[in-house]
Amino acid sequence: MAVRQALKTASFVAIAAVIVASTAAAASAPTLTTAKITGVGSIVVSGDGLTVYSYAAETAGKIACTGACAKAWPPVLIKTGTAPVAGAGIKAAKLGTIKRADGGLQVTYGGHALYRYKGDTTGGDINGQGASGTWYAVSPAGGVVKTMPAKAAAGSGSTSSSGSSSSSSSGGSLEGY
């Protein structure tokens, strides 16, 4: 019996240690980091490597992308009571948050509220770049990057240089957002 109890205790301690270690790793995972995109340059990406975008229609700290827009362009959110984490290449002083009308806490960088594009499914995708002439990747300096990737400029990507576009992976048009 004593051996069985000792094994149960040891198993419990080992499981608890794994939970604590994975929780600590998740807590320290960067909210934002940077990536270099061929033909575009260095941009800000989410902790999972997806491009983050700024919406030019938003000014003076007001969120304009809600409802259907926020479904196509999901905001980069964090839990209330936490702070965004600066990864490699990110200036912590440029990180911030803004409260959305729905109560969500959205990450900002250089004053830009940040979004992902649902047509970007893997790191390195930049399918939303230049959409409707209002959606642009964010630079590590905190500005927007208006350089178009070669495939988009040539018209073979899901975004065209004219700003109107469609994407089969999103199931709809980017126009209007």
Nearest to 146 by CA among 43, 29, 58: 43
Q: Are 141 and 121 contained in the same domain?
A: yes
Helix (H), strand (E) at residue 36: strand 32-37
Q: 25 with 67, same domain?
A: no
In terms of DSSP H, where are the helices of 32-149?
A: 68-72
Same domain, 19 and 79: no
Please check the confidence at residue 175 and state whether its pLDDT lies above 60.
no
Q: For 140-151, how does the pLDDT look when each residue is reduced to its tens digit (9 = 90+)?
A: 999 999 999 876
The answer to whether residues 98 and 147 belong to one domain is yes
Q: Which two tokens stand for residue 5?
A: 């109890």
What pTM was estimated for this model as a whole? 0.72
Question: Going by C-beta distance under 8 Å and a sequence separation of 6 or more, which residues neighbour residue 9?
Answer: none
Q: 98 and 20, same structural domain?
A: no
Q: Are strands 135-138 and 53-55 parallel, antiparallel or unpaired?
A: antiparallel
Q: How large is the average pLDDT for residues 64-86?
A: 96
Q: How far apart are the first and last CA of the chain?
A: 66
| Domain identity same for 99 and 140 | yes
Domain span at residue 11 reads 1-29
Count of the separate structural domains present in the chain: 2
Q: pLDDT tens digits, residue range 3-36?
A: 555 445 444 434 433 333 333 334 446 799 999 9
Do 169 and 114 belong together in one domain?
A: yes
Residue 31's nearest CA partner among 93, 113, 115, 87 is 87
